[in-house]
Structure 1
Amino acid sequence: MGPLTSRWRDSAQTPRGAVLRVFARVGAGVLAAVAVARLHDAHDPGVLCMLRRFTGVPCPACGCTTVFIEAGHGHLGAALAANPVAVAAGLGLLLAPLGPGRWWWQLSTVRRNTVLGVVLTLSWLWQLHRYGFLPA
C-alpha cells in the first residue's frame, strides 16, 4: 500500500479529512447523476423494476432510478417526490464520513431490522399511492 493510500485512509479520522471525503462523494455523485440523466435522455430503457414491469405493482424501491435522473437534471423536488426514502438514504451515504450514522450501528439488530421494516413499509405505501393503487 502506497503512502497516498495510507494518508487517504488515515485522513478519515480527522474532521478536515471527513469533510474532504464528503466533498469527494458529492462531486462523484453529481457527475454520475448528470451522466445517467444524459444517458437516459439519449436512450430511455423504460421500466427497470421487474415487479412493476410484469405486474404493474411498484416495489418499495421503485423510483430510485428516477431520483438519480431527476437529480441529474437539477429537479430536486421531482427527485424527492419519486422516492423520499432513496433521497434520505443517498444523503446519509454522502454524509457518512461526518459520522451521523454512528447511532445506527449502536442499535441492536432487532431495532435496526424494525426500523428497516417500517421504512420499507412506508416507502411501499408511498409508491402505491404515487402509482394510484391507494386512494388520495
Structure 2
Amino acid sequence: MLRAAAMAVAAVGVAWIHRAGDPGVLCPLRALTGIPCPLCGGTTVFIEFGSGRPAQAVLANPVALAGAIGIAVAPLGLGGRWWALQPKTRAWMLGAALVGSELWQLVRLGVLRV
C-alpha cells in the first residue's frame, strides 16, 4: 500500500511540475525522429492521473498505466503470479504488450492512420 501511495504522490508531483513549466517531448527517439517508442506517453500517464484525469491517463498509454498498477499491487501477492509463469510466456506477454503499445502510440500521435 505504501508503494501505491508513493506512486500517487509522485503522480501529483509530476503533474504540478509539468504545470509549472512544460519540458516538451521527453522521449529521445521521438525528439530525434518524430517516431514514438512503446513507452511514449508514460510521463503523460502520471501527469493526467495526478491531475485527476484517469480517462486521459488511459488514452496516453494504457500499457504504461497497466504496468504502473501492476507494480503498485505486486506486493499484494499478484507479483507472485507473474513470476510463476514460464519465462517464455512472460517474454511473449511483454513483447505483445510492447508491440500493442507501439501501435497505440503510432496511431495516437498520427504517425499511422487507421
State the match for 2:78 in structure 1.
100
Shift in Å, 1:101: 2.4
What is the root-mean-square deviation in Å for CA atoms of aligned residues? 1.0
99-108 or 50-59: bigger deviation: 99-108
Q: List alignment gaps of at least 5 residues for structure 2.
A: none
Identity of aligned residues (%): 53
1:39 to 2:17 alignment:
yes
CA distance in 2, matches of 1:103, 1:27: 22
> 71, 78, 92: which is aligned to 1:114?
92
Q: Secondary structure of the equivalent of 1:129?
A: helix
Shift in Å, 1:42: 0.8
CA distance in 2, matches of 1:30, 1:118: 27
**1:64-83 superposed matches below 5 A:** 64-83=42-61
Which structure has the greater CA radius of gyration? 1
CA distance in 1, matches of 2:86, 2:107: 32
Task: Write the letter of the residue equivalent to 1:38.
Answer: W
Aligned length: 114
Shift in Å, 1:26: 2.2
Q: Structure 1 residue runs of 4+, over 4 Å off? A: none
Shift in Å, 1:110: 1.5
With normalisation by structure 1, the TM-score equals 0.80
CA distance in 2, matches of 1:101, 1:124: 24
Task: Write the letter of the residue equivalent to 1:113.
Answer: A
CA distance in 1, matches of 2:55, 2:103: 19
With normalisation by structure 2, the TM-score equals 0.94
